Amino acid sequence: MKSIRKLGLSSDIALLAVILLLVEFVRGATVLSFIPIFGEKELGITLGIIGTAITAHYLTDTVLKIFIGYLLDRFSSKLIVICGLLISLGGIGLYHWGNNPWIFILASAVYGVGMSPVWLVCLTKVNTEQRAAQMGFLYTIWLVGMGSGPVVLNIVLDYTPHLAYALLLGLTAIALALSFFLPRGRNSEVSASPVPFKEQFAVLRERLSAMKPLLPGMILQTLGASMLVPILPKFAEQSLSLSSGQYSLLLLIGGGCTVVGLVPMGKWSDRVGRKPFLIVGFAIFGLTLASLSMQPGVIMAYALAVILGISYAAVLPAWNALLALYVPPAQKGLGWSLLSTVENIGVLIGPIVGGLIADAFSVSTVIWFSAGLFSIIAIVYWLFPARWFAEK
């Protein structure tokens, strides 16, 4: 609790952080391990279908973001989080009949419904003075969940897929139960008389117009990352010759370095500025990803995972602090949901593109393609004038 107060976060963020941790643990375990590994090895479906299931998950998450953000500016965040998690629990339940590929895709889509509210509620709690540092804290929670989820599930899947499924179902139920203890009320910065949606959207459209040069980067960076999701387990097995345990350790190392680096990198970018962190972070990420595709040994692969984790830690707080400049203070729910929707365009396309490229060529081709995108993003941000990254 001391560290939470030091970062200037309200006390109710502690419970939200626990719920976020559980939600992202299940999401990471589902998207990075359960869908690709269970789908291929237990159901025998292609990487293209696996990519479609992952896209279906992010599609519902994305489509609902603006709608949920609008509701968060008007109704109790507690009610919205409860409803979302209840629907997501139903999605996890549908995996019981996942031997049918179309039901498997449908389960992923329904599961995506409840993912948006928790993260958006957390974003509305971030204050102006310590944006990057607080975003670093939230991303630490997010990454601990996302990183540990697939690691734990990989180990469980080695023993029994049924136990892995029960774990996903049980943790989602616990997150739902905890959500009933959230405090009532809307975002404290929202006025008692909500601004009509038409007026809110006009303000947000003006902000989006102002950040127009940044929009391609928003889409390309999520495209580059999400392309990797359906092929990572197969890439680790085929190109890196890693066992399931070694792959889990690789994820743990990369994710751990990101978690350790998020808060200090966030504070550093608050002092130094966002542009250097974005340029250097994306450039190193792209070059390291390309190096990973050259089939290094196990020790070198672990070393590259460390570099990937640190570069990711440099990018995340700075990028989200930059986005926060374009969110109207009185419309945080709708503002964050709209920006997240734009970002998720790449997330929707990426898994399908990655799966299709892997089916047509190889998993290594996907890695090279993704590395190229991150390198291009670094060059584009380097060419941007500093004013695009300054306070509005």
For position 174, what pLDDT does the model report?
94
* Residue bearing tokens 């966002």: 274
For position 62, what pLDDT does the model report?
74
Distance CA 364, CA 126 (A): 39
Q: In this structure, what are the phi and psi dihedrals at residue 11, rounded to the nearest 5 degrees?
A: -65, -30
Encode burial over 266-298: b for 16+ CB neighbours within 10 A, e otherwise: bbbbbeeebbbbbbbbbbbbbbbbbbbbeeeee
Q: Which of 97, 10, 48 is nearest to 356 (CA)?
A: 48
Encode burial over 312-348: b for 16+ CB neighbours within 10 A, e otherwise: bbbbbbbbbbbbbbbbeebbbbbbbbbbbbbbbbbbb
Question: Are 158 and 246 in contact, with CB atoms under 8 Å apart?
Answer: no
Distance CA 182, CA 99 (A): 36
Distance CA 230, CA 52 (A): 9
For position 391, what pLDDT does the model report?
56
Kind and range of the H or E run holding 35: none
For position 334, what pLDDT does the model report?
60
Question: Are 150 and 94 in contact, with CB atoms under 8 Å apart?
Answer: no
Residue ranges of alpha helices (H) inside the chain are 2-6, 13-29, 47-72, 77-94, 101-111, 115-124, 131-159, 161-179, 197-210, 215-226, 232-238, 244-272, 274-292, 298-324, 332-360, 363-383
For position 296, what pLDDT does the model report?
83
For position 295, what pLDDT does the model report?
80
Give residues with Cβ within 8 angstroms of 272, minimum separation 6: none
Distance CA 131, CA 123 (A): 10
Spans of the chain, pLDDT less than 70? 1-13, 43, 66, 69-70, 73, 116, 124-136, 139, 185-214, 326-338, 341, 385-392
Q: Is residue 126 left, alpha or beta, with left meaning phi > 0 and alpha meaning psi from -120 to 50?
A: beta
Distance CA 351, CA 227 (A): 5
For position 8, what pLDDT does the model report?
52
For position 127, what pLDDT does the model report?
60
| Residue 352, Cβ density class (10 Å: 0-12 exposed, 13-18 middle, ≥19 buried) | buried
For position 259, what pLDDT does the model report?
76
Other C-beta atoms closer than 10 Å to the C-beta of 216 total 13
pTM for the full predicted model: 0.65
For 12, the 3-state DSSP assignment is coil
For position 190, what pLDDT does the model report?
45
Q: Which of 5, 16, 2 is nearest to 187 (CA)?
A: 16
